Amino acid sequence: MRPRDSPSQHQMDRCYGQARRRERGRERACGGVRGAQPLGMIMTELAKRPTESITEMVQVVLPNDANPLGFILGGTVMHLIDIAGAIAAHRHARSVLVTAAVDGLQFLHPIRVGDLIILRGRVTATWNTSLEVEVEVFSEETLTGRRQLTSLAYLTFVAVDRDSHRVAIPHLILETDDDRRRAAEAEVRRASRLQARQALELRRTSAANQ
């Protein structure tokens, strides 16, 4: 049975088609060069592969990272997720970035003091000035080497210049079926995120008028 929060096959097919149409449009605008960008978009590099942004962070959980029960604090995990995501995003964009949103963060298992926390980040999708990074969090028992997935989050970053103006970022090359699946799922999350942002903007406007 498909989990309630997972995208439907119809959504996946539709978003995959959108991603392919954008890629073909970029090729036509650039004389058929795959991965290139139309003239006028200032970029340091034309395109990058997801493997170029893969990031792994490892550190031991110390007592000052933990709550009274001896488990790592959720806020500490969130902080490390943001750092791992930002490193992966910087490796792709090579630009100043700001965190715009965090989607789907859940804590599945606690991580004890003395165990290792491992964070793996990679870029899953890019748009004109923003990109999404998937960060997986694992625990590793230092004495047995046993690993388990403890958290998963998707972070959106926006590239800006020193004056906080948005700047274009390199296109993401989708070479494998897994790359395309991740990008299609990112499109579904982005659509939901934009809807939620519109609702929040309306709420902010309503509160300001009271």
Ranges of each domain in the chain? 41-209
pLDDT digits (tens, 9 = 90+) for 23-76: 555 444 444 434 444 433 444 458 999 999 999 999 999 999 999 999 999 999
pLDDT digits (tens, 9 = 90+) for 102-140: 998 999 999 999 999 999 999 999 999 999 999 999 999
Q: Do residues 188 and 11 touch, judged by C-beta distance below 8 A?
A: yes
Strand partners for 158: 98, 130
pLDDT digits (tens, 9 = 90+) for 169-206: 999 999 999 999 999 999 999 999 999 888 888 888 88
Q: Name the region of 47 (left: φ>0; alpha: ψ -120 to 50; beta: rest).
A: beta
Pairwise CA distance, residues 78 & 17, whole Å? 33
Euclidean distance between the first and final Cα of the chain, in Å? Answer: 45
What kind of fold does domain 41-209 have according to CATH?
A: Thiol Ester Dehydrase; Chain A (3.10.129)
